[in-house]
Chain A
Amino acid sequence: MTKAVRLELNGSPVAAVAEGGENLLALLRERLGDTSPKAGCLQGTCGACTVLLDGEPVLACLTLAELADGRRVTTVRGLQDGPRLHPLQEAFMDGFAAQCGFCTPGMLIAAKALLDREPNPTREQVIEAIAGNVCRCTGYTPIVEAILDAARRLAGRRG
């Protein structure tokens, strides 16, 4: 049983045919060529595949692909504005918040979901926001600092 799925991926309309039971991560990576969300555990434990679905964070590996039909999907590829990186990406780079980088796309999306809702988060809110994202390299502190830094950068941009 296949199903045509039309969605808005990072602002552009796209379409693909999904197999019955196929997850959104497979649709994005294998059919739509957006490999920015990573396939880690496929069990909803690691958070590496986190994307925004209509602005809310979801785990692409646990989302039925056909449920994205008619909806907006944002991956980390959609964060930057042309050649200009998103303040979150700049802050991650400047703060050495990535080591192997595998968790980074999920971390960035989880952080974006937080900052969209809460532009001036506390450290506790940042820790809670990335609680579903596993990082085995950094010990989390540089990531938490980078997200707080990004919030300051975004506030500066808003002036």
Chain B
Amino acid sequence: MPLEVRTTATLAEAASLLQSERAARFMAGGTLMMRAVNEGDVSFSTIVRTSDPAFVRVRAAGGRIELGAGVTMAQVLASRELAFLHPAARAVGGPAVRTMATVGGNLFAAHPYGDFATALLALDARVQLASGFGAREVPLEDLLRGRERGPRQLVAAVSFERPADPAAFRFRKMTRTHPKGPAVLTIAAWLPTSGGRVSGARVAFGAMAPFPIRARAVERALEGRLLSAEGVAPAVAAAAREGDPPTDPIASAWYRQRVVGVVLRRLLLGEL
């Protein structure tokens, strides 16, 4: 069935269109939406796009980094200021997918996808939502939690504080095929230390629940600890109790629960 494609000049117009037309869906890079189109999904009849320059803008110079939701993984990889995010961007698909796949789209990528969203969650990102009546902001965690059943929302941009020490941000994805494949699980962690002890850690798990989650018990278990084999042991033990991992063709819930601690320990200790 032919679809109508409407391209708006502003994000606000796109948001208004999506609110007024139930059969309209927004498309950014197309790596998720065109799959639905090619499958013959009849739940939508209009594709909404935007040519708003803010949608594809990278603001990485200041203390707070802002990425337009239409910024692609390739754009992230081309930015030297975003070097700490390169492992996460490289975890998304092959080069052709990365030319197309966007920051905003990754927030809506169904399990086991969403590696970049997992990284943003560990950076405590906030999401700017566009609407016909102006923009508002929500924590990324809230957006992810409500994305299946919440109201339809259009993400305009994400923002987060630049990590003071890029080395304190770590990302690791476990896959069954190399160099790329869907996640068995993904871990992103922000691990600031004070006098060698962890202070204010944020740890996010991807593919360990229907959407990326913060691993709060792991974060608590890390507080005040050294990043040594002994220091991280309580956090590693807590990892298996986080989330509610799905069973899928990549891995079973049982396997994910048993392997998450191993991957977490390697990430925390900087082991290969």
Interface residues, chain A, with chain B CB atoms under 8 Å away: 1-3, 19-23, 42-44, 47, 50, 53, 56-59, 61-64, 66, 110, 113-114, 127-133
A23: chain B residues at CB < 8 Å are: 34, 37-38
CA distance A125 to B30 in the complex (A): 26
CA distance A62 to B98 in the complex (A): 12
Max chain A Cβ within 10 angstroms of own Cβ: one of B27, B38, B95, B97: B95
B99 beta carbon closer than 8 Å to chain A: yes
Question: For residue A54, which residue of chain B has the nearest CB?
Answer: B99
B14 nearest CB across to chain A (Å): 15
B5 beta carbon closer than 8 Å to chain A: yes
Interface size class of B (residues with CB under 8 A): 20 to 34
A2 nearest CB across to chain B (Å): 8
A147 nearest CB across to chain B (Å): 13
* Contact assessment for B31 and A44 in the assembled complex, using a CB-CB cutoff below 8 Å: yes
A109 nearest CB across to chain B (Å): 8
A132: chain B residues at CB < 8 Å are: 93-97, 180
30 chain-A/chain-B pairs, Cβ below 8 angstroms: A20-B3, A20-B5, A21-B2, A23-B34, A42-B35, A42-B39, A43-B35, A43-B38, A53-B99, A57-B99, A58-B96, A59-B96, A62-B31, A62-B34, A62-B35, A63-B100, A64-B27, A64-B30, A64-B34, A110-B94, A113-B95, A113-B96, A114-B95, A127-B179, A128-B90, A129-B94, A129-B95, A130-B94, A132-B97, A132-B180
B34: chain A residues at CB < 8 Å are: 23, 44, 61-64
B15 beta carbon closer than 8 Å to chain A: no
A51 nearest CB across to chain B (Å): 9
Contacts A42-B35, A61-B38 known; list 17 others, CB within 8 Å. A3-B5, A19-B2, A20-B2, A20-B4, A20-B47, A21-B37, A21-B47, A44-B31, A44-B34, A44-B35, A50-B96, A53-B99, A62-B30, A64-B34, A128-B179, A129-B94, A131-B95
Question: For residue A22, which residue of chain B has the nearest CB?
Answer: B2
CA distance A114 to B95 in the complex (A): 9
